[in-house]
Every structure is written in structure tokens, then in C-alpha cells.
Amino acid sequence: MITIPYLTALTTYFSYGLLFAFGQFRDFFRKIFDWWHASNLEGYAPICLGLEDFYTRRLYLRIQDCFGRPIASAPDGWFDVVERYSNDNNKTLKRTDKISRCLNLGSYNYLGFTAADEYCTPRVIDSLCRFSASTCSTRVEGGTTTLHKELEECVANFVGKPAAVVFGMGYVTNSAILPVIIGKGGLIISDSLNHNSIVNGARGSGATIRVFQHNTPSHLEKVLREQIADGQPRTHRPWKKIIVVVEGIYSMEGELCKLPEIVAICKKYKAYVYLDEAHSIGAVGKTGRGVCELLGVDTADVDIMMGTFTKSFGSCGGYIAGSKELIQYLKYTCPAHLYATSISPPAAQQIISSIKVILGEDGSSRGCCCYSCFPCHPTTFSQGTYLHFCLAHQGRPS
Ligand SMILES: Cc1ncc(COP(=O)(O)O)c(C=O)c1O
């Protein structure tokens, strides 16, 4: 159960309200006194007008130095942040030569693998020399190296599914896969706090989207019953397929998915389960295999297992793991596999090596030690708590 800090929420909304009101006020006067200053090319419709433009000019630009600061080192527990200055009220920022050493509360890096690692780093450097930084090709042309094959086997084995396919970006994994596995006539039932990549993937699929209250299995069941009874809009034909999309750990809340209950409901109503383990894979479970391992859910009951390599593995990219038929189908049809450059070989090697460390296959006991000494129950974890855990272990699982 999340407790809402009402005072903080109220003062935050009040500050935003104040900035919004002043912004509107200033825009109003600008229109009156500056009317001859056309803000766009003559004869063209404005390209960036609307609430986003207003938000950027009047709210974001004022505080933008808090965000997007250039980093001058690896995203370890402490990192080097480049100082900037502005001569035009923060509209533009210029870099200085000054660097501040800061405590890093912003990067994922849950297990500290982005720092130089005695096992991973030499192997990543070797792979860079052997395969180069990029394959410069899609997976189906020249972009499948032996490392890609090894990585897919390694991921499938790690998450407990027969097969897996990997992509160069976690975000794209969701947004490109959902439109391939479901379309018009299908129904996606999505947790209300699902990540934007899922939202965009669902929208792009053309399927009907319904949302259930965050992590509330009883509401999911209610939505499923109503939708199955109603069928497709207008025709009321049965849905071609139903997919329920949830996350293993919700990143902004640090909250664990009620997966056993959700899986039971999906089985009852014959809906597929799509589980995004971006924040849970590698981070929870007795051997780091994610929420299924932690909550005692059989991976055979989760039809589509998705995850990213940016959080626990210190790399980049994403994966889908599932049945052999599903993965083969994705490899034949998914545009992110057919038309996008494959994951960079050193990034693939980093994932393979970090999984080996987690599983204790590197010849050390670092992996097992990491999970056996988690200090508290993972339901209380938030992104920050993970990080504190990692920092307490000098930025790596040892
Ligand atoms: C739940 C979830 N899915 C997908 C992604 C996208 O992953 P990536 O950042 O690796 O592209 C994120 C990013 O944080 C996420 O939180």
C-alpha cells in the first residue's frame, strides 16, 4: 500500500499552478506588446505550438539545469558531472571545464556492473577489438554475430524460457513487439502505471486498450469479465486474443507486481500474460532470475517475458523470452529485428559476462553473495534503495 505525502503533493501542485498562471500571464502580455514578432515561418502552421511548447518555455527551461547534465565518467555510485552556466535565463546552457564529483542517484546500475569489473571489463574490451563497436547491419543481414547467438541462449536459460530474442533498445522492445503480437480485434489490458514504452506499443498495435487499477487483481478480473461479455466494439464479436500487460517491479513506486494473483486470473479467463521485467530481472529472486523466482510463479505460466539490460546488467538493449514458436515468429516479423541495427557486440558481451557473474559461473562467489545478503524485503525497494544497497557494497555485488 502506498502512502501519499499529501503536504508535498499539495505544495508541488501549488508551485506548478503558480508557474502556470504566471506563464499564461506573461504570454498574454507578450501577445499584446510583441504582436509583430511572428514566432514561425510566414505562411506555415506553427510546428511546436500547444501545451508542450508552453511547458517547455515557461516551466522546464527555468529549471533545466537540474536535468540532462553531461556526465564525464562511468555511471558508478559516484560520478563526474560537468558544470554548466547560462547567459540567457537558462534558455541555453554552456559547458565549463569544471567537474563535480557527485553521488549518483540517477542511473539504474542496480548491481554496480557499469563500473570497471574484473570479470566483465576485459571481456568487453576483447569483444570490441574482435567485433567492433557496431555490427553496422540488421540481424537478418550481417548483424548476427556468434555473441548474439550466445546472448540469446544465455538469456533464455537465465529467465527460464525455451527461447529468446534480443534488441538494441529496451524501449523499442516493448514498442515494437506489442504491435507484432496483437492488432485490430485484439484487446490489451494494461496496468494503469505501465511504462511509456508499453503505452506506445499498445497504441501502435491498433488493438483496443483497457486499463486496470494499478496492481489490483480484483479490478483486472472485473475489466476482463466486462470485456469478454461485451466483445469487440460495435460487432460484439469475441476478441481475437487478450493480452494482460504488467511490470515485475514498478519503477517509480518500487512496488512488486501481484503476479501470482494476476497469473491465476489470466489463466481463468484464457488471457495471455506479458511481463515487463525491466526493473526486476537480475535484481530480485534467490539467484537473480526476477519476480517469477521471487514470488514462486512458474515461468511457463507467463507467456511473454520481456526485460531490459540497462538496469541490472550495466549494458543496453532488451529481450523477449517465450516459446520457440513465438520467438521464431518475432524473428520473421518484428521490424526491430528485421530493420534495426543489432545490439552492439561489446554491449552483448557485457550482458553475457554479468549474467555469468550473477550465476557464479565466473569462478567467484560474487553472484550468490549479492542475493543472499539483500538487506530487506524487496517490496520496499525503490530505485534509490537498490542503489544504496549497491553503494553499501562498494558499487558492485561482492
Ligand atoms: C518498465 C520499463 N520498460 C522498458 C523500459 C525501457 O528500457 P530502456 O531504458 O532499456 O530502453 C524502461 C525504462 O526505464 C522501463 O522502466
Amino acid identity of residue 98, one-letter, is: K
Atom of ligand 1 nearest to the CA of 108: 14
For residue 63, what pLDDT is reported?
A: 86
The DSSP symbol for 283 reads T
pLDDT of residue 37: 67
- Same domain? For 83 and 127 the reply is no
Q: Using CA atoms in the order 202, 207, 208, 209, what is the torsion angle rounded to 10 degrees?
A: -10
Pocket test for ligand 1, best of 114, 191, 310, 383 (most atoms within 8 A of CB): 310
Report the separation in Å between the CA atom of 308 and the middle of ligand 1, taken as the mean of its atom positions: 6
| 20 and 74 housed in the same domain | no
With both helix axes pointing from N to C terminus, report the angle between 217-230 and 259-269 in degrees, rounded to the nearest 10: 20
Our answer on whether the CB atom of 157 is closer than 6 Å to any ligand 1 atom is no
Which pLDDT score is estimated for 277? 98
Q: Supply the pLDDT for residue 32.
A: 84
Domain membership of residue 112 (yes or no) is no
Cα–Cα dist 247/150, whole Å: 26
**pLDDT at 47 (0 to 100):** 80
Per-residue pLDDT, 253: 86
Quick one: 14 and 137 in the same domain?
A: no
pLDDT at 391: 39
Number of separate domains in the chain: 3
119 neighbors 357 (Cβ within 8 angstroms): yes
Per the domain annotation, does 282 fall within a domain?
A: yes
Residue 200 Cβ inside 6 Å of ligand 1? The answer reads: no
111 near 314, Cβ under 8 Å?
yes
Q: Is 269 found in the same domain as 341?
A: yes
The reply to whether 80 and 229 lie within a common domain is: no
Domain span at 54: 1-66
Q: Pairing state of beta strands 318-322 and 304-308? A: antiparallel
Pocket residue to mutate for ligand 1, from 167, 252, 308, 381, most atoms within 8 A of Cβ: 308
Residues 84, 158 share a domain: no
User: Angle formed by the axes of helices 345-358 and 120-131, to 10°?
Assistant: 150
- Average pLDDT value over all residues in the chain: 90
Residue 298 lies in a domain: yes
Nearest CA to ligand 1 atom 9: 170
Tell me whether residue 113 is in a domain.
Answer: no
Radius of gyration over every alpha carbon of the chain, rounded to an integer in angstroms: 23
Which pLDDT does position 152 carry in this prediction? 98
CATH number for the domain spanning 148: value is 3.40.640.10
DSSP-derived 3-state class of residue 249 = strand
Of ligand 1's listed atoms, the one at least distance from the Cα of 317 is 10
Residues of the chain with pLDDT under 50: 372-398
Cell numbers representing residue 271 in the block: 488471457
Same domain, 28 and 133: no
169 with 216, same domain: the answer is yes
User: Ligand 1 centroid to 356 CA: how many Å?
Assistant: 22
pLDDT of residue 398: 31
The string of pLDDT tens digits covering residues 132-165 is 999 999 999 999 999 999 999 999 999 999 999 9
The pLDDT score that the predictor gives to residue 66 is 87
308 lines ligand 1 (CB under 6 A): yes
| 89 and 44 together in one domain | no
Residue 392: phi and psi, rounded to 5, are: -60, -20
- For residue 163, what are the contacts with CB-CB under 8 A and spacing of at least 6? 152, 156, 321, 322, 323, 324, 326, 327, 328
